[in-house]
Amino acid sequence: YIITNDGVTVANQLFDYVVVGGGTAGLTIANRLTENPQITVLVIEAGLNAQNDSRVTDPGSFSIADYSDLQWGYTTVNQTISGRSLGLTVGKVLGGSSSINGMQWTRGTVSQYDAMEKLGNPGWNFASMQQYMKKAEAFHTPNEAQINLGVTFSSDAHGKSGRVITGFPNPYPCPLCKLWDALVNATIQIIPGLRSGGNIDQCSGHPNGVARCSYSIIPGASDGPTAGVNIRSSAAQSFLYSLPPNNRPNLHVLTGHLATKIIWNSKSRTELPTPQAIAFQDVESPQFSFLALVKREVIVSSGSIGSPKFLELSGIGNRRLLESLNITVISDLSSVGTNLQDQAGTIGIYSSAFQLNASVLHSPPQGAAAFVTLPQMLGAEGAQKYISRLTQTITQRATEIVELGAGVNVEGVSRMLEAQVAQFGEDNAPVVEIVLSSQTSSQTFGTAAWILLPQYRGTVHIVSSDPMVPPALNPNYLLNSNDLSLLVNTSTLSRQMFNIPSVKELYTSELLPGISVQTQTDFENYVHDNYFAVLHPIGTVPMLPRALGGAVDANLRVYGVKGVRVADASILPLQISAHLSSTVYGIAEKAADLIKHESS
Ligand SMILES: Cc1cc2nc3c(=O)[nH]c(=O)nc-3n(C[C@H](O)[C@H](O)[C@H](O)COP(=O)(O)OP(=O)(O)OC[C@H]3O[C@@H](n4cnc5c(N)ncnc54)[C@H](O)[C@@H]3O)c2cc1C
């Protein structure tokens, strides 16, 4: 493969496929398509190649604050709840968000993947997705020492021969084991019925419970010079750097260049528009712009913010919006940029009473995570009331979402809200995640906790035809009062953990929420003023039947044009009780197979 940041070297060349975005999904697809030496692929990535940057490679250095040059710097519009603009970090680097994410390796519930099929996407169910998520993965089975230190897993949940290496840090960061043990036990004490131990595995389709985190990392060797040095398994590491040298001359990766739009073949009345070329420009020197010619297809893998932006700039989107910006309408598809779903969270931070040892470096900071169901959060009766509130308001809420411009039609949004209510109810999906983590740099530990299945919906739309101008992001965080109250419950519950004596002896003071936060009203104010963006945006190019507000079909083809697919987190119609990367790899593996089968 060839990685270059010189646009001239690929300008005016013809490629079978051009992939827009060298992120989690984009690099997976590019790798799989170029397994056939006859197929040429160009990946265009706006970010740079950070192959040897320890902020990326070293899992112990995970720190969003240090990634300013590796991310897009997006902020939301001022949110109705709290009036604040929130940072919405998204990777802008080879490997995309997989190069800067928290590396937690988890999946949603069986019924959440099955819901995609029920919403009108044949073949998108748990059985198929689990097969593809496993195809992407090469799991390091934990050794006895790791198991003795609290790791649980289910071998069946994992792929063994894929490219993304996953597992647990080696050696296991023992100086923190007493902390994880105390926090995990506290979680079990305050959340009745929470599963723990046994073969709990957050990739099994049954994530409910508390367990030590597994990660997308290459565990350190047991001896030799790399002993104890874990390395991040990003999409770039897994699908590019680990290819044998001199392999894949048919795979071209251009970094530091922004794909600006699709140039279309002239439109005849009878045929759907097809892409002729991709326009792209140097990020540092936008006056240098080029074309790459497309033989077969364009695959848009620019992520949940980048993909709707690129489609709109290419003339695919809401007619009124595009015309107001003088963009020629190629496909009037008002679903593009709607249905944005990110989660909202809250934190608790405590000053450690013991030294958080430097030897834990090279391990991700999150030690364990609890995935909690609604009855476990609110009790059986509280959960029942919550679910009836959601059930009784489906049409009303769908109407409000459509009025906000965050959905296209009431029937489609209602169908999705119904599917979500079923997950809260009979499917008993986790609705809250509580991550237990520590920071050696500040000698603190605590929780980050968030609602997993928000009921609010938002938008992402371009505001200019200039590709350098960021889109307007409006997730409408916590606009639904049920979501807000659940997050307040989450915050109060997290505090209870730190009142348990075995945890209390591990810290000297509570930094956040802070001891002044005591009453229900205090917690409401704390959450209102301090909630943060969880950075799991999905759904902005939803895979659904067009009549229900979809933008791509079950083959990921964009409606109203030919030869353009979208494959990344943006196609997920509904949020899942998980972190997203494993699911995105699954989407990408499946997309590659769909493309291969169609072209063979
Ligand atoms: C800070 C952070 C922490 C996270 N933690 C976790 C975690 O612990 N576990 C987990 O599973 N998930 C986590 N996630 C979420 C997960 O990493 C992402 O959801 C997933 O990687 C998204 O994959 P994607 O392919 O949709 O987009 P991305 O991986 O973001 O890829 C999109 C790529 O397209 C590029 N691009 C966009 N527009 C253009 C354009 N016009 N031209 C050229 N290039 C373009 C971008 O620069 C980017 O590289 C986290 C995310 C973040 C940001």
Name all domains of the chain by residue range, CATH numbers in brackets: 54-241+339-593 (3.30.560.10)
Looking at ligand 1, which atom is closest to the CA of residue 67? Answer: 1
Q: Is the CB of 537 under 6 A from ligand 1?
A: no
- Tokens 């919906």 correspond to 457
User: How high is the pLDDT of residue 208?
Assistant: 97
By alpha-carbon position, which residue is closest to atom 14 of ligand 1? 101
User: Between vectors from CA 366 to CA 365 and to CA 371, what angle results, nearest 5°?
Assistant: 170
Residue 81 CB less than 6 A away from ligand 1: no
So what's the pLDDT on residue 269?
Answer: 74
Task: Give every CB contact of residue 305 below 8 A, 6+ residues apart in sequence.
Answer: 72, 74, 88, 90, 460, 471, 473, 537, 540
In this predicted structure, what is the pLDDT of residue 564?
98
Please give the pLDDT value at position 502: 95
Residue 212 beta carbon below 6 angstroms from any ligand 1 atom? no
Judge if the beta carbon of residue 306 lies within 6 A of ligand 1: yes
For the residues of 521-547, what is the DSSP string, one character each?
A: HHHHHHHHHH-EE-S--B-SS-BS-GG
CA of residue 73 to ligand 1 center, whole Å = 13
Q: Do 567 and 299 touch, CB atoms closer than 8 A?
A: yes
What pLDDT, in 10s, does the model give residues 555-588? 999 999 999 999 999 999 999 999 999 999 999 9
Predicted complex ipTM: 1.00
- Asked if residue 183 lies in contact with residue 194, where contact means CB atoms within 8 angstroms, the answer is no
Ligand 1 atom index nearest CA of 71 = 47
* 243-264 tens-digit pLDDT: 998 889 999 999 999 999 999 9
The two tokens of residue 219 are 């565990």
Report yes or no on whether pTM surpasses 0.90: yes
**Ligand 1 centroid, distance to 101 Cα (angstroms):** 8
For residue 335 and ligand 1, the question of a CB distance below 6 A is answered with: no
In order, the DSSP letters of 365-411 are SEEEEEEEEHHHHHHHHHHHHHHHHHHHTHHHHHHHHHHTTS-S-HH
Q: Is 21 in the pocket of ligand 1 (CB under 6 A)?
A: yes
In Å, what is the CA distance from 485 to each residue of 378, 391, 454, 479, 482?
Answer: 11, 17, 12, 11, 5
What is the C-alpha separation between 90 and 60, in angstroms, rounded?
A: 19
Task: Please report the DSSP string for 414-468 in residue order.
Answer: HHHHHHHHHHHTTT--EEEEEEEEEETTTTEEEEEEEESS-S--BEEE-SSS-TT
Q: Which atom of ligand 1 is nearest to the CA of 537?
A: 19
CA of 538 to the centre of ligand 1 (A): 10
CA–CA gap between residue 252 and residue 3 (Å, rounded): 6
> What DSSP string describes 4-61?
E--GGGTTT-EEEEEEE--SHHHHHHHHHHTTSTT--EEEE-SSB--TT-HHHH-GGG
Residue 146 has a pLDDT of 93
C-alpha radius of gyration, the chain, whole number: 23
CA of 462 to the centre of ligand 1 (A): 19
Q: Which residue has the tokens 């915050």?
A: 491
Q: Tell me if 48 CB under 6 Å of ligand 1.
A: no
Opening angle at CA 226, ends 224 and 231, nearest 5 = 155
List strand residue ranges (DSSP E) for 245-336, in order: 251-254, 257-264, 275-282, 289-300, 316-317, 331-332
Residue nearest to atom 11 of ligand 1 (CA): 581
Instruction: Tell me the catalytic residues.
Output: 536, 579
Residue minimizing CA distance to atom 16 of ligand 1: 581
Segments of the chain scoring below 70 in pLDDT: 267, 358-360, 600
Is residue 93 a known part of a binding site? yes
Could you tell me the distance, in angstroms and rounded to a whole number, from the CA of residue 70 to the centre of ligand 1?
11
pLDDT of 95 reads 98
